[in-house]
Amino acid sequence: MKSGFISLLIITFFSITTTWAAQSFNSGQNRALGVRGAASQEQTNKALARQFYEQVWFSRNLSAVDDLVAPTYVVHDIGDRKGVTEPADEQKQIADFFWQNGEMTGRIDYQIAEGDLVATRWQWEFKPKTWWMKAIGGQKQIPIINVFRFRDGKIVEIWNHRHDIDTAQGNILIIQGLIVGLMPTFILAVVTFFLWRKLRKQRRAIKMQ
């Protein structure tokens, strides 16, 4: 009886151990597959982001926007353009504006992907061909960092970070700063001029008496 009981305990122990080991192995496999699946999706998203720049900004294939950007997306940019929902056509119009006024090219420095987000640092090179674009900006190479959120293989959210100090926007800010700085001097000069004219008239009136 004792030997039979001990045998039963041994069989039960090995059965539980085998079941636990199998479950642990399957769980580990599932986790590994999940990690590989996530990594694969991140690589796919990086490739889609790269395609966006290469097709829309480095070559004038604006129709690629339809394949890469959701019908509507949320953008976070400078000024009031923060948390704004826009149609995909807005990306076409922005790129087309620069294509109509110059030639564009660029290069991608690096990309970082995490989950559904892809960050891309790239260099935008713009050679203006219209006189007014040359006047306010000239030929520029500007570093830009964009973060895209992807859903179902399309861009649904964009964060835009660029070095505006190197752009025409930066030139405008400099001009605004000069105007603000020179305004008190200008006002003082105008006041001084009118006071001088008033005193001059008074002196002439005194001499005529």
Q: What are the tens digits of pLDDT across the range 75-115?
A: 999 878 899 999 999 999 999 999 999 999 999 999 999 99
Tell me the two tokens of residue 168: 């025409």
Q: Structural domain of residue 38, as residue ranges? A: 2-176
Q: Considering the domain boundaries, does residue 47 fall inside one?
A: yes
Q: How many domains does the chain have?
A: 1
Q: Considering the domain boundaries, does residue 208 fall inside one?
A: no
Gap between the Cα atoms of 122 and 49, Å rounded: 11
Q: Considering the domain boundaries, does residue 147 fall inside one?
A: yes
Other Cβ atoms within 10 Å of 15 Cβ, number: 10
Angle (CA) 73-147-161 rounded to 5° is 105
pLDDT on residue 159? 97
User: Which residues lie closer than 8 Å to 144 by C-beta, 6 or more apart?
Assistant: 121, 122, 123, 124, 160, 161, 162, 163
Please report, for the domain that includes residue 127, its CATH number: 3.10.450.50
Q: Considering the domain boundaries, does residue 186 fall inside one?
A: no
Tell me the two tokens of residue 167: 């752009």
Q: Considering the domain boundaries, does residue 93 fall inside one?
A: yes
Confidence of residue 209 (pLDDT cuts 50, 70, 90): low
φ/ψ (deg, to 5) at 115:
65, -125
Identify the three-state secondary structure at position 101. Answer: helix
- Model's pTM, two decimal places? 0.64
Radius of gyration of the chain (CA): 33
pLDDT on residue 14? 54
pLDDT on residue 131? 87
Distances (CA, A) of 19 to 22, 35, 155: 5, 24, 44
Gap between the Cα atoms of 151 and 48, Å rounded: 11
DSSP string covering 105-122:
EEEEEEEEEETTEEEEEE
Q: Considering the domain boundaries, does residue 7 fall inside one?
A: yes
Gap between the Cα atoms of 146 and 18, Å rounded: 50
**Strand partners of residue 154:** 151
Average pLDDT, the chain: 81
pLDDT surpassing 60 at residue 175: no
Distances (CA, A) of 113 to 50, 73, 77, 134, 148: 12, 19, 20, 36, 9
Give me the residue label for tokens 């019908």.
71
Q: What are the tens digits of pLDDT across the range 114-140?
A: 999 999 999 999 999 988 887 776 677
Tell me the two tokens of residue 187: 């006002």
pLDDT on residue 133? 81
pLDDT surpassing 80 at residue 53: yes
Whether the Cβ atoms of residue 45 and residue 56 lie closer than 8 Å to each other? no
Whether the Cβ atoms of residue 65 and residue 80 lie closer than 8 Å to each other? no
pLDDT on residue 4? 57
